[in-house]
């Protein structure tokens, strides 16, 4: 009797495993959350210091165009006009996604609706390969192929938003394609069957039923692509020209938040205006990626079917 | 399955910790050098040579930029901070707390795309290009090609040498910026009408190096200050560097292998051959 009582009252091996498992997963979660919070706190404290310690004006930061953080303007405040970079970042991002989306939807439709199993597998390999290419390789191809191409066919020096968007187009294509494919695949097959049974052609089915049903998923894919394009640094930096000037068009040398950041961070000293101003750019980047994330969540919640 | 997972997790964690512990125990011996990427090749090769005679000495050399080098050595995170600029000229650095060791002299030369049709230029013209006064090579006696100005990143050592000698206090116009000699080489060679500047080790025959006022960018002209675009490669340490650090720097500054052979081979200039010296304000005085 006693042995049974003991067995029931004491912790079994499985219970102990349960506890260990919980401890492990909780500590992992706590670690991750702590890392995220401290990154946010660090970037925010540094980024805000430009405005609190160095007395730059927040309005100038978003609305003026003169970026020379180490110099001071007439009002004695550091010149931190980040508008050219903010516009540059949005410019390349929007254009890249604009180029990529039609191709991504086309490819994903082919893969899910039209292609044979073999065709599908082949395309999947191609797209996964595109994901795996490091960004410096994209940048180098951009420098040696895209820039001369833009120079001879569109004019200018070849460096600018257009070249940046061409490079980013290839880089965001796999992300948008594979997510679009997932959302097309998630459309219940009886939608398609019902539509075909009613006498609709394949194209009518795709256009009127499948694409409509998958729209929220496709939008999510596009926003994901934007988030990737917005944060890309190296490849864009190599082809955009890095001039902190207001973009005069798609062909004039411009810069993005990331390109200015990567160029400047090694040449400034922690705690100086120049360095803090760069952290302010980083803060903008971080907030933008937060906004992209919230947008994805919002679309996901609204469009569930 | 679960048990396996836990064991793997612990193993990975354990290995990571062991890795940290191992680094800690040997940190005493390792000399850490961080900073200017332009200096990285000489210091790396110098370290390699040094390790031939002192094999147990570990030396890590990293790039990251002059600003990084100076701030890391100031905070005591590394032993040596490499910089192309005088610490006194870098904002946020207390130069009095650092010790300067001048390793070598480096020249900087303006370079242009081969097709612009200009080989010689005056200092005033060069200033005119970088302040936005000239916009076409035609105005300087060259072909009818628009000038594409390529600048270096703000705070880069090469740029500070260029700015202090060429601009004469005038405000530079905003232009494209690149953060490495390598990408500048590539861009000037491929872009019609491009002008930029690189340090001597990066001169190549895929583009034209300009003469200024008839003087060619050569090592010899730097030693007499006939060629004005030059500066020092500094290795900064704290006021009391470790025994190992002192020995390493001493080797780099005194060894003939480094100062005579290596520097010449990499197109740097040894301080021994300099007939003039320059202070942090750009004032040049003859060496006695």
Contacts of A193 (CB under 8 A, 6+ apart): none
B190 touches chain A (CB under 8 A): yes
Which band of pLDDT confidence, cut at 50, 70 and 90, is reported for residue B8? Answer: low
Q: What is the mean pLDDT of chain B?
A: 85
Q: Cα(B198)–Cα(B203) distance, rounded to whole angstroms?
A: 7
Which band of pLDDT confidence, cut at 50, 70 and 90, is reported for residue B20? Answer: very low
* Domain annotation covers residue A71: no
* Domain annotation covers residue A67: no
Residues A104 and A15 occupy one common structural domain? no
Residues A113 and A7 occupy one common structural domain? no
* Domain annotation covers residue A117: yes
Residues A117 and A193 occupy one common structural domain? yes
Contacts of B193 in chain A (CB under 8 A): 157
**What pLDDT does residue B28 have?**
47
- What's the start-to-end Cα distance of chain A, in Å? 57
A188 touches chain B (CB under 8 A): no
Which band of pLDDT confidence, cut at 50, 70 and 90, is reported for residue B288? Answer: low
**What pLDDT does residue A158 have?**
87
Q: Cα(A194)–Cα(A189) distance, rounded to whole angstroms?
A: 9
**What pLDDT does residue A10 have?**
81
* Domain annotation covers residue A69: no
Helix (H) or strand (E) holding A10: none
- Chosen from A15, A18, A27, A268 to mutate, greatest number of chain B CBs within 10 A: A268
Chain A to chain B Cβ contacts (< 8 Å)? 96
A77, A83, A88, A93 alpha-carbon torsion, rounded to 10°: 120
Mean pLDDT of B135-150: 91
**Using one digit for the tens of pLDDT, what is the confidence trace for B153-172?**
887 888 888 988 898 888 88
In 3D space, the residue among B256, B242, B267 whose CA is nearest the CA of residue B106 turns out to be B267
- Chosen from A150, A267, A272 to mutate, greatest number of chain B CBs within 10 A: A267
Residues A212 and A295 occupy one common structural domain? yes
**What pLDDT does residue A29 have?**
96
B206 touches chain A (CB under 8 A): no
Residues A234 and A296 occupy one common structural domain? yes
Split into its structural domains, chain A has a count of 2
Q: Which residues of chain A have pLDDT under 70?
A: 1, 303-305
Strands B208-209, B98-112: pairing kind = antiparallel
Contacts of B68 in chain A (CB under 8 A): 265-267
* Domain annotation covers residue A59: no
A242 touches chain B (CB under 8 A): yes
DSSP-H helix ranges across chain B: 2-26, 40-53, 66-74, 123-130, 157-166, 181-190, 219-223, 243-254, 256, 263-265
Give the CATH number of the domain where residue A270 resides: 1.10.3720.10
B4 touches chain A (CB under 8 A): no
B7 touches chain A (CB under 8 A): no
**What pLDDT does residue B9 have?**
52
Residues A34 and A88 occupy one common structural domain? no
Q: Are A247 and A254 in contact (CB under 8 A)?
A: yes
pLDDT-wise least confident of A170-174, B109-113, B147-151, B258-262: B258-262
Residues A165 and A16 occupy one common structural domain? no
Beta carbons of B191 and A158 less than 8 Å apart: yes
A193: distance to nearest CA of chain B, Å? 42
**What pLDDT does residue B23 have?**
47
Residues A299 and A160 occupy one common structural domain? yes
**Torsion sign, CA atoms B171, B176, B177, B180:** negative
Backbone angles phi, psi at B281, to 5 degrees: -95, 5
A53: distance to nearest CA of chain B, Å? 14
* Domain annotation covers residue A183: yes
B72 touches chain A (CB under 8 A): no
Q: Are B166 and B127 in contact (CB under 8 A)?
A: yes
Which ipTM did the prediction report?
A: 0.73
Q: pLDDT above 90 covers what percent of chain B?
A: 38
In 3D space, the residue among A83, A111, A267, A235 whose CA is nearest the CA of residue A179 turns out to be A111
A56: distance to nearest CA of chain B, Å? 17
* Residue B108: strand pairing partners: B199
Residues A245 and A300 occupy one common structural domain? yes
**What pLDDT does residue A44 have?**
93
**Per the structure block, which two tokens stand in for B74?**
């100031």
Residues A18 and A107 occupy one common structural domain? no
**Per the structure block, which two tokens stand in for B132?**
């936005």
> Is the confidence at residue B4, as pLDDT, over 70?
no
Backbone angles phi, psi at A38, to 5 degrees: -70, -35
B265: distance to nearest CA of chain A, Å? 27
Q: Cα(B141)–Cα(B137) distance, rounded to whole angstroms?
A: 7
> Is the confidence at residue B3, as pLDDT, over 80?
no
Q: Are B170 and B127 in contact (CB under 8 A)?
A: yes
Contacts of B190 in chain A (CB under 8 A): 144, 147-148
* Domain annotation covers residue A222: yes
Mean pLDDT of B27-45: 82
**Per the structure block, which two tokens stand in for B163?**
């700015």
B186 touches chain A (CB under 8 A): yes
Mean pLDDT of B73-77: 89
Residues A93 and A33 occupy one common structural domain? no
Angle between helices A161-185 and A117-132 (to 10 degrees): 140
Helix (H) or strand (E) holding A37: helix A13-52
Mean pLDDT of B123-146: 91
Sketch out chain B's domains with CATH numbers.
29-106+231-286 (3.40.190.10), 107-223 (3.40.190.10)
Cα distances from A259 to residues A73, A175, B102, B178, B191, in angstroms, run: 24, 22, 32, 10, 20
B93 touches chain A (CB under 8 A): yes
Q: Helices (H) and strands (E) in chain B — how many of each?
A: 10, 13
3-state SS class at A6: helix
Q: Cα(B93)–Cα(B234) distance, rounded to whole angstroms?
A: 14
Domain that includes residue A23, residue range: 2-52
B54: distance to nearest CA of chain A, Å? 31
Residues A105 and A39 occupy one common structural domain? no
Nearest to B176 among A253, A271, A273 (CB): A253
* Domain annotation covers residue A142: yes
């Amino acid at each position: 009797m006693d042995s049974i009582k003991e067995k029931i009252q004491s912790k079994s091996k499985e219970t102990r495993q349960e506890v260990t498992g919980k401890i492990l997963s909780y500590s992992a979660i706590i670690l991750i959350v702590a890392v995220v919070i401290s990154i946010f706190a660090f970037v925010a404290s540094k980024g805000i210091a430009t405005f609190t310690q160095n007395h730059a004006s927040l309005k100038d930061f978003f609305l003026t165009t003169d970026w020379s953080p180490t110099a001071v303007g007439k009002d004695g405040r550091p010149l931190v006009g980040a508008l050219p970079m903010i516009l540059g970042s949005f410019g390349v991002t929007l254009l890249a996604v604009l180029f990529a989306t039609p191709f991504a939807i086309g490819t994903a439709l082919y893969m899910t609706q039209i292609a044979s199993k073999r065709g599908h597998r082949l395309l999947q390999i191609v797209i996964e390969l595109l994901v795996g290419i490091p960004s410096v390789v994209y940048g180098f191809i951009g420098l040696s192929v895209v820039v001369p191409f833009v120079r001879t066919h569109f004019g200018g020096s070849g460096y600018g938003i257009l070249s940046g968007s061409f490079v980013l187009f290839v880089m965001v294509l796999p992300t948008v394609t594979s997510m679009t494919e997932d959302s097309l695949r998630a459309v219940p097959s009886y939608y398609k069957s019902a539509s075909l049974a009613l006498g609709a052609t394949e194209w009518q089915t795709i256009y009127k039923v499948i694409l409509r049903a998958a729209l929220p998923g496709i939008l999510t894919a596009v926003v994901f692509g934007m988030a990737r394009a917005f944060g890309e640094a190296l490849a864009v930096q190599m082809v955009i020209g890095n001039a902190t000037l207001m973009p005069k068009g798609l062909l004039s040398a411009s810069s993005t938040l990331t390109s200015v950041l990567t160029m400047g961070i090694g040449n400034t000293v922690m705690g100086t205006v120049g360095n803090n101003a760069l952290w302010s750019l980083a803060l903008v980047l971080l907030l933008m990626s937060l906004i992209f994330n919230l947008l994805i969540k919002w679309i996901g919640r609204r469009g569930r079917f | 399955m679960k048990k396996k997972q836990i064991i793997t997790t612990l193993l990975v964690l354990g290995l990571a910790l062991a890795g940290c512990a191992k680094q800690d125990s040997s940190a005493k011996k390792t000399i850490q050098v961080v900073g200017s990427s332009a200096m990285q090749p000489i210091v790396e090769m110098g370290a390699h040579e040094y390790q031939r005679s002192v094999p147990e000495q570990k030396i890590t050399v990293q790039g990251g930029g002059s600003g990084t080098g100076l701030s890391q050595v100031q905070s005591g995170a590394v032993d040596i901070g490499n910089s192309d600029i005088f610490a006194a000229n870098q904002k946020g650095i207390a130069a009095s707390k650092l010790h300067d060791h001048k390793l070598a002299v480096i020249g900087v030369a303006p370079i242009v795309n081969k097709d612009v049709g200009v080989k010689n230029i005056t200092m005033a013209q060069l200033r005119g290009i970088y302040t936005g006064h000239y916009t076409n090579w035609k105005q300087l006696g060259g072909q009818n090609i628009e000038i594409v100005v390529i600048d270096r990143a703000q705070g880069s050592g090469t740029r500070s040498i260029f700015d202090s000698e060429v601009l004469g206090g005038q405000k530079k116009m905003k232009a494209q910026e690149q953060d490495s000699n390598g990408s500048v080489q590539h861009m000037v060679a491929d872009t019609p009408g491009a002008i930029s500047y690189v340090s001597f080790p990066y001169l190549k025959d895929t583009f034209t190096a300009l003469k200024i006022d008839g003087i060619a960018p050569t090592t010899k002209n730097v030693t007499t200050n006939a060629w004005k675009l030059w500066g020092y490669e500094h290795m900064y340490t704290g006021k009391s560097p470790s025994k190992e650090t002192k020995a390493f720097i001493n080797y780099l500054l005194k060894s003939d292998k480094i100062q005579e052979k290596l520097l010449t081979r990499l197109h740097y200039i040894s301080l021994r051959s300099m007939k003039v010296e320059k202070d942090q304000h750009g004032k040049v005085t003859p060496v006695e």
